[in-house]
Amino acid sequence: MTKKRIGLIVVVLIAALVAYSFIPNQFPVYETKASAAPEGGHHVLIFGATRNSGLETAKILTARGDRVTAFVRTSSDRSQLEPLGVEFVVGDALDLPTVEAAFVDKDYTSVVTTIACFSCEPKPDYLGNRNIFDAAEAAGVKRMILMTTVGSGDSYDAAPFPARNFLKDILPLKTQAEDHLMASSLDYTIIRPGGLKSGPATGRGYLSNSREAFGIINRADLAGLVVNIIDDNTTIGKALAAMDADMVFPWSMF
């Protein structure tokens, strides 16, 4: 590749970043409204609970008194979940029989799946989530919350070019997962964060049903939005973007 072509690519990327930095990060807000809690509270099965957004979701749910069961692999690090008092079921999301077994004789009120893997082969973003949806449907557990990303499905154009390029092998899988879920009989909500950061909750995270929405959010705030979705039956059948009102792409990523 010539120096001239490399220089052109750099200029294009910088221009794209600058352009997106001037896009307002305040999109139409989707206000969640708490529904009546199930008798005895929620019992949530979480796939992907050992780290990141899944772990933050487990922290919030257990802190307020809900039951949480974490689906983990035999090799998973449970050290951050064990102090929370969660229950465990062991299996592999890519192995349908073990996923089906996780639903046997359980009283889950909802399921949350945050599973994803950039470097895994095969990747669980579609295959693992498909197994989760199919097992839940067969077991009669209706409420499903799926975490994907802005750029999946009909939000493809909302993701900045650098993000779409970086996730070019992942986005089709996440779209397949969304499509499979939408075609099921499950009471689903899809939540699509954009850029993700680790850090304390800011309290400024919000949801939007705009298909142009893209932003950045801390995982702790994202988990709070997931819990709000669990509590709100009016979000059923929705695909919602998640972001922080004060974070601007790309500068807030640094």
Q: What is the pLDDT of residues 71-122, one digit of tens each?
A: 999 999 999 999 999 999 999 999 999 999 999 999 999 999 999 998 889 9
Q: Taking residues 226-237, what's their average pLDDT?
A: 97
Give the residue extent of every domain in the chain: 38-253
pLDDT at 129 over 90: yes
Which homologous superfamily is 38-253 in?
Answer: NAD(P)-binding Rossmann-like Domain (3.40.50.720)
pLDDT at 125 over 60: yes
In angstroms, the CA 12 to CA 155 distance is: 22
**pLDDT reported for residue 13:** 53
Residue 44 tokens read as: 């949530």
CB 188 within 8 Å of CB 223: no
3-state secondary structure of 234: helix
CB 216 within 8 Å of CB 194: yes
**pLDDT reported for residue 180:** 98
Nearest CA among 35, 36, 29, 78 for reference residue 58: 78
Q: Taking residues 153-175, what's their average pLDDT?
A: 95
Express each pLDDT in 33-66 by its tens digit. Answer: 988 788 789 999 999 999 999 999 999 999 999 9
**pLDDT reported for residue 118:** 86
pLDDT at 1 over 70: no
Residue 92 tokens read as: 């592999």
Q: Quickly list H helices, the chain.
A: 3-21, 52-63, 96-101, 127-139, 161-166, 171-182, 219-231
**pLDDT reported for residue 248:** 72
pLDDT at 21 over 90: no
Nearest CA among 31, 29, 26 for reference residue 214: 26
Average pLDDT, the chain: 91
